């Protein structure tokens, strides 16, 4: 897929295959992260299910004792893979779902097939994977579908989440005119959700959750633009070519691939991760709106 808020027109090609880490190389990085005490890992993309080694990487993370192993995917290839991923140790899946209209979905994703994504959601549910849907809300596109998307998620045992479109990458900057604030999303979902303050999950990322009026369900909101959540951010990202980045909104990082390939001992990799961690921006950083965010290539670093 080549979603409109991720890529500008004309950027629909795939990232080059050269230089991507192998499963054995991912294993070395995961071992170093475990040694540092990291307990949660999420496989993102681009699209992680395009990697032929994704199941092996999940298995490796499970064998190393990661307590939380999650995947963010467009789910178009999830249906035939969900069983193997679950067996390998996958626990949670976040699925991008921007519309329940096939035509709008195809338009927003530049060619995505909604039916394949819905099959992927069903397969993940059948496997007992914990499910969340992620909807980037765009004015004039899918902002009239929020109630429908929330109800769909709840009917499929998933937690819906609604995201402000972030000015990350050229695509995200191009569509800032379509930004819908979390406050407006809450208003649009007023009939379904309680009025209380949205609450974060401790140590579980930037989303804030509200319970449904019936008290049974939840919906999450991610306010990258109108309310920064950088303070307290505890994420490190590793690109498919082995670059560690301290922040989604910074287009540069520390390259570890050569070290891994030359057989550097784990202590060296651990030290490099600590060095990368030291590059975390200060607490007043507003990453998603920073000028550096425009230069990030989302297909290389994931969401």
Residues that bind ligand SF4 in the complex, under the rule CB under 6 A: 206, 229-230, 233, 235, 247-249, 281, 285, 287-288
Closest CB to ligand SF4 among residues 193, 247: 247
CA neighbours closer than 13 Å in the CB half-sphere of residue 5: 25
The owner of tokens 């929020």 is 146
User: Minimum CB separation from ligand SF4 for residue 77, in Å?
Assistant: 26
148, 192 in Cβ contact below 8 A? no
Closest CB to ligand SF4 among residues 89, 281: 281
Closest CB to ligand SF4 among residues 204, 235: 235
Cis peptide before 89 (omega within 30 of 0): no
Q: Where are the alpha helices (DSSP H) in the chain?
A: 23-35, 54-63, 82-88, 102-109, 114-126, 146-155, 169-174, 182-188, 257-261, 266-277, 298-301
CA neighbours closer than 13 Å in the CB half-sphere of residue 204: 14
Closest CA to 78 of 131, 14, 147, 156: 131
Closest CB to ligand SF4 among residues 260, 288: 288
Residue nearest to ligand SF4 (CB): 287
Closest CB to ligand SF4 among residues 123, 288: 288
Quick one: tokens of 62? 């499970």
User: Minimum CB separation from ligand SF4 for residue 7, in Å?
Assistant: 19
User: Minimum CB separation from ligand SF4 for residue 130, in Å?
Assistant: 22
Q: How many CB atoms lie within 10 A of CB 37?
A: 6
User: Minimum CB separation from ligand SF4 for residue 157, in Å?
Assistant: 28
User: Minimum CB separation from ligand SF4 for residue 222, in Å?
Assistant: 10
- What does the alpha-carbon distance between residue 220 and residue 7 come to, in Å, rounded to a whole number? 25
User: Minimum CB separation from ligand SF4 for residue 154, in Å?
Assistant: 27
Closest CB to ligand SF4 among residues 12, 234: 234
């Amino acid at each position: 897929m080549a979603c409109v808020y991720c890529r500008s027109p004309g950027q629909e090609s795939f990232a080059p295959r050269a230089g991507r880490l192998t499963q054995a190389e991912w294993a070395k990085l995961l071992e170093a992260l475990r040694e540092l005490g990291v307990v949660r890992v999420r496989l993102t993309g681009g699209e992680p299910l395009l990697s032929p080694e994704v199941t092996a990487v999940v298995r490796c993370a499970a064998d190393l004792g990661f307590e939380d192993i999650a995947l963010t995917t467009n789910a178009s290839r999830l249906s035939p893979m969900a069983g193997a991923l679950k067996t390998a140790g996958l626990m949670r899946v976040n699925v991008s779902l921007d519309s329940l209209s096939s035509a709008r979905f195809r338009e927003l994703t530049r060619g995505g097939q909604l039916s394949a994504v819905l099959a992927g959601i069903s397969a993940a549910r059948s496997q007992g994977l914990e499910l969340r849907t992620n909807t980037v809300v765009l004015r004039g596109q899918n902002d009239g579908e929020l109630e429908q998307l929330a109800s769909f998620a709840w009917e499929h045992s998933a937690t819906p989440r609604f995201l402000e479109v972030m000015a990350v990458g050229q695509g995200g900057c191009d569509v800032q005119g379509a930004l819908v604030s979390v406050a407006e999303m809450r208003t649009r979902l007023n009939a379904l959700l309680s009025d209380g303050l949205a609450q974060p999950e401790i140590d579980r990322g930037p989303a804030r959750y509200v319970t449904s009026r019936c008290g049974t369900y939840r919906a999450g909101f991610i306010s990258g633009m109108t309310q920064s959540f950088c303070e307290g951010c505890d994420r490190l990202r590793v690109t498919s070519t082995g670059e560690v980045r301290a922040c989604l909104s910074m287009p540069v990082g520390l390259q570890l691939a050569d070290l891994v390939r030359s057989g550097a001992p784990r202590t060296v990799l651990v030290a490099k991760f600590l060095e990368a961690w030291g590059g975390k921006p200060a607490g007043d950083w507003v990453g998603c709106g920073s000028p550096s965010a425009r230069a990030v290539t989302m297909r290389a670093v994931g969401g």
